[in-house]
Structures are given as structure tokens and as C-alpha cells.
Amino acid sequence: MELLLLVCLCLLSCSGDAVGVLVEEGSDAVLPCSLNPKVDLTGQVFDWKKDGQDVFMHYADGKTREGPDFIGRVSHFQDQLKNGDASIKITRTKMDRQRELQLHFSRSSESNIIIELVVGAAPKPSVTILAGTNDWSLLQCEAHGDPLPTVEWKDSDNNTLNADTPQISERGGRSYITVNVTVTKTDTYSCVATQLQHSHRIATNIYVHLAGAAPEPVPPPKSGSNAGLVTIIVVLIILLVVIGGLYIRQCIKKH
């Protein structure tokens, strides 16, 4: 599991328990830190640190500075400082193997809040149709994340399908898991990636139409429809008889 442990060291009273933030690698992450009671932080000093190294510093004169490993990647919410909000946003998050955190109190007036930023949430799996005929299709699902998620195929009724053995591969320094399944009916199928360690689950759907699949039965016409058709035929016959009789009478009169 990839953990980036950060500490918001505020020179005022921060409140709240440890907070976990889960993001995909390369995405943006907001690390929350709000004071309770709310205190205007506009002219206050607070410092975000990772393993004792500076991440983001805010000074009493309003100036800010980013740590050397976070230049151009950290920002704060200037308009929220007056509400006691010292949160920051880190862009383009990266994997980090460092997991240990030492938390110290240098003065009794200082408190802190611990943020556990987990970088490695599985993004939506990639699904495709590899091959098929009118009667079957071979579907492939590929997923990644840290830790590597488990992958399973499901049909529209949420039944787990009997898929091939998962295959693990390495590409660009990242591990991928690939699972294939053969389906034989028209349906919407889902590839579900699950990371139990993060309580994280994400899925991608794909619709498969098989031309050779048995068509749905066409319901017979309702009895009411038959009765209406018979009525129309009877009326047409009557009209033809009446018109024919009139025509015959006209011919007799002329002769």
C-alpha cells in the first residue's frame, strides 16, 4: 500500500481525528485542515510537513512557500483562511513508499491533525471485445492500482461470471491485472475492480449484442385487436354489398 503521511502543524488549536484521503495516481488531492473553533488564519503561521520535510508554509505576512519536492504542485484556499481553513491541494500526486510518521509537540499551544494520503486508488478498468461470432464474444478487462485490485466480470443481474484465470503483467513500472471472459448472450456486462484495503470498488460497463442469440418471443395479438379487425372487415363487406346493389339498380333503370 502506498501511503503519503502529512501533518498540518498549526500554531493554533486544530481539531479532528486522523483523516484518510484516497486518490488515483496523478490526480489532485485536497488535504483538509479546519480549526475548531474557527479562527481567522489570514495573518497566522501554519506549516504542512511530510516526514519532517516542508510541503507548504504560510507566513504571518501572507506569503507562502512550497517545499522543494512540491514546487508548482501545492496551493491553498486564500479566501477560506478567514474561516479557519488551512486546507491545501496537491496536484499530480505521486506514489511514495515512506510510511512512518513521527509526530512531536514542541509547545503546549500547538496541536495537529494527521492526514493519510493514499495514492494508488484503482481507476476505471479498461474493457474491450477481443473476438467473437454471432453466438459468442470474448471480453477483456484490464485494471491497475496499488495494491493491485481483484477483478471479476458480472452480468446485468449482478451474477459473477466464470472467467479465465487472471494474468498479471508489468508495464512502465506498473502492475496490471487482465481477466478475459466468454459470453454467449446479449447483455450489459460489468468489469468490477475491488481494493478491499481501501474499501474501494469501481466498474466499467460494456454492452454486447449477439446477432445469433435467440430473439425474444413476440407476444400474440390481444383478443381485442382481433375483434376490431373482424368488425372492420364486416363493415367493408356491407359497404360493398350496398354500393353493388345501387349500381345494379341504376343499370336496370337505364334498360
DSSP characters for 24-72? -TTS-EEE--BBSS----TT--EEEEETTEEEEEE-TTS-EEE-GGGTT
Count of beta carbons in the 10 Å neighbourhood of residue 218 = 6
Q: Which CATH superfamily is domain 3-119 in?
A: Immunoglobulins (2.60.40.10)
Per-domain residue ranges of the chain = 3-119, 126-208
pLDDT in tens, 5-30: 455 544 444 444 567 788 898 899 88
- Residue 104 pLDDT more than 60? no
Helix H or strand E encompassing 94: none
pLDDT in tens, 158-209: 999 999 999 999 998 889 999 999 999 999 999 999 999 889 999 999 999 9
Pair 191, 161: CB distance under 8 Å: no
Same fold, 3-119 and 126-208: yes
CATH architecture of 126-208: Sandwich (2.60)
Q: How confident is the model at residue 101 (pLDDT cuts 50, 70, 90)?
A: very low
pLDDT attached to residue 100: 28
CA distances from 206 to 97, 155, 167, 194 (A): 35, 10, 20, 18
Beta bridge partners of 168: 177
Nearest-angstrom CA–CA distance, 207 and 183: 11
Count of beta carbons in the 10 Å neighbourhood of residue 58 = 23
pLDDT attached to residue 33: 82
Residue whose C-alpha is closest to residue 43's, from 4, 81, 89, 14: 81
Pair 44, 56: CB distance under 8 Å: no
pLDDT in tens, 204-251: 999 999 987 555 555 665 555 566 676 777 777 777 766 766 666 666
| Mean pLDDT score of the chain | 80
pTM: 0.66
Average pLDDT over residues 47-51: 83
- The grid cell for 237 is 363487406
